[in-house]
Amino acid sequence: MTIYGWIQILLYCGILVALVKPVGFYMHRVFNGDRTVLSPVLVPIERGLYRSAGTNEREEQHWAVYTTGMLLFNLAGFLVLYALQRLQGVLPYNPAGMTAVDPQLAFNTAASFVTNTNWQNYGGESTMSYLVQMAGLTVHNFVSAATGIAIAIALIRGFARASGKSIGNFWVDLTRCTLYVLLPMCIVLTLVYVWLGIPQTLGPYVDATTLEGAKQTIALGPVASQVAIKMLGTNGGGFFNANAAHPFENPDAISNLIQMLSIFALGAGLT
């Protein structure tokens, strides 16, 4: 190990430790329903979502009700993701003409992404259309991460309220985590990744000719937005088969540092 290697490790650890308190403080305010810097913009959206879903944000749930809501939500997510993959061939935003995903692979992928395990038993650029990548995999990168964080918060409440009968409201925790924590951070990360050279486009794959005269198809797509939540939500399942080893997902040392920090930022904040 060289001195530069040690400096990089210390720099990474120092930045991560520095993030613990501000991230944790912000998440504490979010899940307590306190005002944050984003409240003027997001509170009307949050309340609109509650009204449309018939959710009372002040009504807390018994652990059994909380768990039932979580399971039903993720069951619905599993069915939607499975259907998207199986119907991929007839759905829009499929410039590469991907056919329907094999039933076994679709089942495995849906079960994996819903449970936040994100086992990628496929090559993203050769198997999934843009629509499935965005509306299926990326969405589940958000909601599966939000589900996991919500359960962690509920567990903390359970320990803190040893004699209480409620642990919060699953729908409120899920909404607040997605709306106040994951989405804003991912918007910023996506813009940074685009600036660093990660593609974010709905345009078709590009055919190119190499210096040797060979033909090559260069896969593109809405990559930056998926990489942002893939890392922040500690998900797997990259846009490309090689994940962060692919230069379009992780083009340089700066993007690598940001992605490494993203993986641990929220978990560190929860401590």
pLDDT confidence of residue 238: 87
With contact defined as beta carbons under 8 Å apart, do 261 and 15 qualify?
yes
Retrieve residue 24's tokens: 């944790």
Rounded-to-integer distance, Cα 152 and Cα 172, Å = 14
**Domain containing residue 196:** 3-269
pLDDT at 106: 96
Question: Both tokens of residue 233?
Answer: 């939500």
Closest CA to 85 of 32, 46, 139: 139
Question: Do 270 and 152 form a contact (C-beta atoms < 8 A)?
Answer: yes
Q: Angle between the 223-232 and 183-196 helix axes, to the nearest 10 degrees?
A: 130
* The two structure tokens encoding residue 11: 């720099």
Among 156, 83, 145, smallest CA distance to 114 is for 145
End-to-end CA distance of the chain: 30
pLDDT at 31: 95
Total tally of structural domains belonging to the chain: 1
Q: Are 148 and 116 in contact (CB under 8 A)?
A: yes
Strand partners, 200: 222
Pairing of strands 206-209, 215-218: antiparallel
> What pLDDT shows up at residue 163?
74
Report the alpha-carbon distance of residue 113 to residue 144 in Å, rounded: 7
Give Rg (Cα) of the chain: 20
pLDDT tens by residue, the chain, 271 residues: 899 889 999 999 999 999 999 999 999 999 999 999 999 999 999 999 999 999 999 999 999 999 999 999 999 999 999 999 999 999 999 999 999 999 999 999 999 999 988 888 899 899 999 999 999 999 999 999 999 999 999 999 988 887 778 999 999 999 999 999 999 999 999 999 999 999 999 999 999 988 888 899 999 999 999 999 999 998 888 899 999 999 999 999 999 999 999 999 999 999 8
